[in-house]
Amino acid sequence: PLEIQFIFTANPEDYTNRGSIVTPLKDRIGSQILTHYPHSLSIAKKITEQESQVSKEKAANIHLPEIAKDLLEQVGFEARKSEYVDAKSGVSARMSITAFENLYSTAERRLLITQDEKTSIRMTDFLGIIPAINGKIELVYEGEQEGANEVSFHLISMSIKTLFPKYFPKIEKLEKPNEVGPYDEVLEWFFKDNELFFEDDLNEKEYCKTLDNLTGLSKIVKKHLPDLDKKDHYFMMEFILWGLESHQKLNKLRRLEGIYFKDSLGSFINRL
């Protein structure tokens, strides 16, 4: 088989960074090129890993759980069907590639600050892909009104919501009275006016300690994912918190130095 590369030019004002074939290029080629996005997460992951620029040293020092790869690709799938994103301009085919590199860079920055030898990707590291999302999608009017950052947060939240039932029991909006739910112990901990704070630059030891302090969280992971790689355990613990927040069971507050998880309803009742 022949491997052929076509190179064409266009004026700067005709370019978009959304992956579209612009009209001047169609004129030069004399043909219309039809492209499509990956139809599955597995294909999308292969393309991202092939095209991204991540050094061997960085990959060796930063563990990336498989679910984190799925979550990153799911953001692109959610963006392509979002009411806030312009369907005509679409989503850049390179969004997940840029986000992948940003995800590693966020963890690498933390390593440099904490001086830990190794680290693992965390859910909080996904805040580092927001600039990649903002720069690779076109928003419709409603999206502009919400704000680019809010739309990006929404896309990450929707991705978590989509993937969550693949790993853990479905989070019901309404539960039957006197019925014990799989997340009651965790929610009860927050209901007692407890808060969980994840500092952006938390070292590995303190990060694990913070999650271990939350009653019942590790138990859920061990029960539903008994064969899980030990390296992924704390990522999945944090993933549960983000899943509960995406289903509006917890509140997540972004602060300059990190993220808080809390139950505002429980806190309000306790102060009465």
Q: What digits encode the pLDDT tens for the residues 85-137?
A: 988 777 888 899 999 999 999 999 999 999 999 999 999 999 999 999 998 88
| Residue 213 within any structural domain of the chain | yes
Residue range 153-211, pLDDT digits in tens: 999 999 999 999 999 999 887 667 777 889 999 999 998 888 999 999 999 999 999 99
B/e letters for 189-198, b = 16+ CB within 10 Å, e = fewer, are: bbeeebebeb
Into how many domains does the chain fold? Answer: 2
CA dist 106 and 120 (Å) reads 11
Whether residue 162 is found in the same domain as residue 188: no
Whether residue 207 is found in the same domain as residue 101: no
Whether residue 42 is found in the same domain as residue 157: yes
| Residue 173 within any structural domain of the chain | no
The sign one gets for the Cα dihedral 194, 199, 200, 202 is: negative
Element (H, E) at 62: strand 62-63
Whether residue 141 is found in the same domain as residue 89: yes
| Residue 18 within any structural domain of the chain | no
| Residue 156 within any structural domain of the chain | yes
| Residue 177 within any structural domain of the chain | no
Find the CATH number of the domain harbouring 51: 1.10.8
Chain CA centroid to CA 104, Å: 13
Residue range 68-82, pLDDT digits in tens: 999 999 999 999 999
| Residue 27 within any structural domain of the chain | no
| Residue 21 within any structural domain of the chain | no
What pTM, to 2 d.p., does this model score?
Answer: 0.85
Whether residue 128 is found in the same domain as residue 242: no
